[in-house]
A and B are shown apart, each in its own frame.
Chain A
Amino acid sequence: MFQTGYIINPRQDYIWFIGLPLVALAAAIGSQNWLPFVALASINLWITIPHHFATWFRTYGLAEDWRRFKERLIIGPIVIYGFVFLGLQVAPISLLLVVSLWDHQHSIMQQHGFARIYDFKAKAGTPQTPRWDLALNWVLYGNMFLNAPLLVTMWLRELYRLNLVVPVGLLQGIQLVSWTVTILFMVVYIGHVIRGAKQGYHINPMKYLFLAASYFLWYYAAWHTASILVFGIAHRLMHGLQYIVMVLFYVRRKRQTDNKERSEGRYRKWLFSSVLTFILCSVIYAIVFQLAIQKPMNEFGFGLFNIADQYKAIPEHGIEAMPGWLSLHLLGEALISAVAIIHYYFDSFIWKVRDEHVQEGL
Chain B
Amino acid sequence: MDTFLKQKDIYCFAALAIIIVILPVFVESKYYFIVLNVIGLNTIVVVGLNLLIGFAGQISLGHAAFYGLGSYFSGILTVNYGFPLWPAMIVGMLATGMIAYLIGYPSLKLRGHYLVMATLGFGIIVNILMGELEQFTGGHDGLIGIPQLAIGGLTFDNDLKNFYLIWSFVFLSMLAARNLLNSRVGRALRAVHGSETAANSLGINTADYKVKVFVLSAMFASISGSLYAHYITFISPSSYDFYYSIQVVTMVIVGGMGSLWGSLFGAGVLTFISEALHVAKQYHIIAYGIFLCLVLVFLPEGILVGCYHFFLRRKARKLIKRGENLNIS
Are A and B bound to each other?
A: no
| A residues adjacent to B (C-beta < 8 A) | none
| B residues adjacent to A (C-beta < 8 A) | none
